[in-house]
Amino acid sequence: MFNILWRNLKWRFQNPISIGMTIVQPLLWLALYGAVAGPALGSMAGGNYTAFILPGIMVLVTFSCCCSGGMINYIMKASGSFYRILIAPVSRSAILLGQMLEAILLSLLESAVLFGVGLLCSVQVASGLPGIILMILLIFLAGFFMAGLAYSISLCLPNEVIYETVMNTIVLPVFFVSTALFPLEKSAGALRVAVMLNPFTHIINALRSLIYGKTILAAEVLPVIGLFALLGLGGFALAFRRLKRETAC
């Protein structure tokens, strides 16, 4: 597992544009929405709209990193290394975990960069160090789920063009139909139901409660941790099944 993780990390840092491209867009979202929508929505967002949208942008970074992790499969297939790893004496779970952890670590790194930018914009985590630790855990769980899902989808689709199209079709609606950019109170009717059914709405709200609340509310955080732990296990199981089918082929 660690050999595969290290191999993917080396490839990533040998191609730093892959890191830069996944963080430039969220930084633009943070800057542009903070400047454009901040004056209008700042009063509903506790006076600091940057603090309000930061959790959603961190989740968007996690989406981007995990989607780019799936792209590595196509690069490995083109070079032949994907099939060499499959015939190596390595367990399928180690192969899968090595590649998923690379995407998750990149998600945490880029979320830390965004968090640093947020600090420069007067964002403060009212819940302190325990809140920051829980935020890291939540980002990890979101990344674990998305990495497993992206990996399994990349093994189902024939090329990277179709993969990128499908992932954009999934990621963008999930991001916009959530509380990432606007308070839940701004949605109504069917849209409100869709927002509430979106699991990422709840992880964004949990991250937001850790930023704004001085007291950590277990009722707002623990159910989300449990939900994404289950989703992560489901994503891993799906990816593991797809990898076994790839081996059989």
Is the pTM value of this prediction over 0.85?
Answer: yes
CA 246, CA 248: separation in Å to the nearest integer? 5
What pLDDT does residue 120 have? 84
What pLDDT does residue 77 have? 82
Q: Identify the three-state secondary structure at position 48.
A: coil
Residue partners of 228: CB distance under 8 A and separation at least 6: 138, 141, 142, 144, 145, 199, 203
Q: Give the type of residue at 75.
A: I
What are the pLDDT digits (tens) for 95-118? 888 888 888 888 898 888 888 888
Nearest residue to 232 via CA among 57, 27, 113, 62: 62
Nearest residue to 72 via CA among 100, 44, 45, 51: 100
What are the pLDDT digits (tens) for 176-211? 899 888 878 777 788 889 999 999 999 999 999 999
Q: Is 215 left (phi over 0), alpha (psi -120 to 50) or beta?
A: beta
Nearest residue to 220 via CA among 231, 210, 230, 232: 210
Domain ranges of the chain: 2-16+46-248
- Would you tell me how many other CB atoms lie within 10 Å of the CB of residue 26? 24
Residue partners of 241: CB distance under 8 A and separation at least 6: 152
CA separation (Å) from 68 to 122, 162, 183, 195, 197? 30, 13, 29, 25, 26
What residue ranges of the chain have pLDDT lower than 70? 1-2, 11, 18, 34-47, 247-249
Q: Give the type of residue at 241.
A: R
- Burial pattern 194-206, b for ≥16 Cβ within 10 A else e, equals ebeebbbbbbbbb
